[in-house]
């Protein structure tokens, strides 16, 4: 799998590109497809995202520990999906991704980060930002 080939550069304990899946957007996989229409970028994207979904079931890995990281990952997925044509992803991939995005929203809704006195720090704002972007997927 693609993710296993880059495993030497991964840090499973927090702030990393693998957990947040920034590679699918900022790593130019979605952008490369958008500019070139070459399917190899979609194949790499699909491989990477499905590997993540398969190895990180809801709330059963370290990658579900912080709602902000979950929100950032969801935002990256949503934007990468918006860059890909709907026809290039198989129905199985779309089903897996939309199902996982639903789980992301469920997790964040139940784990908003803040306290009774203040809901204005960066974690809480990231959580809310995910819901603003969530509307692009679930209208």
Alpha helices in 56-121 (DSSP H): 67-83, 91-110
| pTM of the predicted model as reported, rounded to 2 decimal places | 0.75
For the stretch 52-94, pLDDT in tens is 899 899 988 888 988 888 888 888 888 888 888 677 889 999 9
Band (129; pLDDT cuts 50, 70, 90): confident
Between CA 90 and CA 6 the distance in angstroms is 25
Asked if the model's pLDDT at residue 11 lies above 50, the reply is no
Distance CA 74, CA 23 (A): 13
Mean of the pLDDT values across residues 94-112? 90
Domain-by-domain residue ranges, the chain?
A: 2-134
Long-range contacts formed by 119-124: CB under 8 A, 24+ apart: 122/68, 123/66, 123/67, 123/68
Distance CA 136, CA 133 (A): 6
């Amino acid at each position: 799998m693609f993710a296993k080939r880059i495993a030497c550069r991964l840090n499973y304990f927090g702030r990393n590109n693998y957990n947040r899946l920034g590679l699918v957007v900022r790593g130019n996989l979605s952008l490369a497809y958008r500019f070139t229409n070459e399917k190899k970028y979609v194949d790499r994207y699909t491989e990477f995202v499905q590997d993540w979904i398969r190895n990180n079931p809801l709330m059963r890995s370290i990658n579900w520990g912080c709602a902000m990281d979950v929100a950032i990952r969801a935002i990256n997925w949503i934007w990468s999906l918006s860059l890909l044509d709907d026809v290039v992803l198989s129905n199985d991939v779309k089903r897996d991704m939309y199902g996982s995005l639903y789980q992301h929203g469920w997790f964040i809704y139940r784990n908003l980060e803040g306290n009774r006195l203040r809901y204005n720090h960066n974690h809480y704002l990231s959580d809310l930002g995910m819901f603003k972007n969530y509307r692009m997927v679930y209208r």
